[in-house]
Structure 1
Amino acid sequence: MRLDKFLVEAGQGSRTEVKQLLKKKQVSVNGKIETSPKTQIDEKVDQVICQGQNLSYEKYVYYMLNKPKGVISATEDNQHKTVLDLLDKTAWDKEVFPVGRLDIDTHGLLLLTNNGKLAHAMLSPKKHVDKLYRAKVAGIMTAEDVEHFAKGIELKDFTCQPAQLEILEVNEAAKTSLVAITIKEGKFHQVKRMVLACGKEVTDLERLSMGPLQLDENLSLGEWRRLTAEELAKLEVFDVEL
């Protein structure tokens, strides 16, 4: 790999900025000052130090975000704040993107990465990756609704795959419910439309898990962290380079 490419991917700036660092003799490879951006290095073996910082190479990066409401699952938008606006400079430098999407008024777990093959595998209909949501509902969800979900709800434009509805709480006086819903798809407004097909309305929706990843309960809305080694190991089930 070219040294300038390595420096950019290690979050040291743009191509122009890292060329300036090299010119100012701020970069060494295996203890030797390097000034040429074309210098070839072995990113997995060579020791690269920039401005006193020992750099390590990451081809792919992975972020867990507790997405808040009012933020859209996109990398850029002219009207709304995006999930990428909540992350750090490395996320921008690595050109991460959300794996799937959450509606603007839905909050909870969102994975962002620059690993396109992993994203494709997690979103592929053939993989049937479970997505678990917790929903507050205006109306009383019933055993009949549970059966309706299990059979596959027929909507106007498509029939949903069988899904799991678990009734967690029912408030008879307020006529509200708290439910857990597990789906294997992720079509536009799907959970809300499924509940609406049962004659009720979702008033709050939170995603708790996606495949083997579970939302870190210590992450407040809008907070993020990089995935742990244990979480990355769980993603190995998708059989792609991590």
Structure 2
Amino acid sequence: MQAFLFDLNGTLIHDMEYHTRAWQHLLNNDLGGSFGWDEVKPQMYGKNQEVLVRLFGPDRFTPAEMDHWALQKEQRYQQEFRPHLALLPGLADFLEQAHQRGIPMAIGSAAIPFNIDFVLDNLHIRHYFQAIVSADDVTLSKPHPETFLRAAAQLGVAPADCLVFEDVPKGAEAARNAGMDAVVLLTTHEAAEFADLANVRHCAPDYTGAFFQDLLAAVPAP
């Protein structure tokens, strides 16, 4: 592997519970739905507008209304999660060591720039990433491979030479569709949920442990 591509939510930070909570509040309190936690959680992938379409159908909202509610959801999420904002254990050292070794790194996320900026700037890690692909940069969301293929292209690295870090099955599936192996962070899903994805090389709760040190050592020096 020559480059690392990172999803954001649930992969750099452990925040998916807060996303689900913000969605459930919006869907039920603001939009008149009656969605339970177990109905909302599986929808936590793709663009916010796509979540609204999956839950309410294609005719409920205008594009402008979907943009409005999508931003409302993110503002609520940020307000609630900000006191808990932190990198997953071991990630700060992993990023720094990868940076020192000259390993190209990118963000490939379905989040909007508003959320990506919230994480990168508040945690002061923007300098680690040479490319950022957000929801605004793609036409087709994960599990379509566009997000990761764009990130690889921006880094100038062949897809087969990229390793993706993800936390949800749809994200690992997007990596597979891009011809990339994946490492799964078990922040929101169980390892068994990735069993049918042959491109998943490893599952771990965080970035501590020998696997990640071995991974860094295996990347050729630039």
TM-score of the two chains, using structure 2 as the length reference? 0.24
Greater gyration radius:
1
Higher helix share: 2
TM-score of the two chains, using structure 1 as the length reference? 0.23
Say which structure, 1 or 2, has more relative contact order (CA 8 Å, 6+ apart): 2
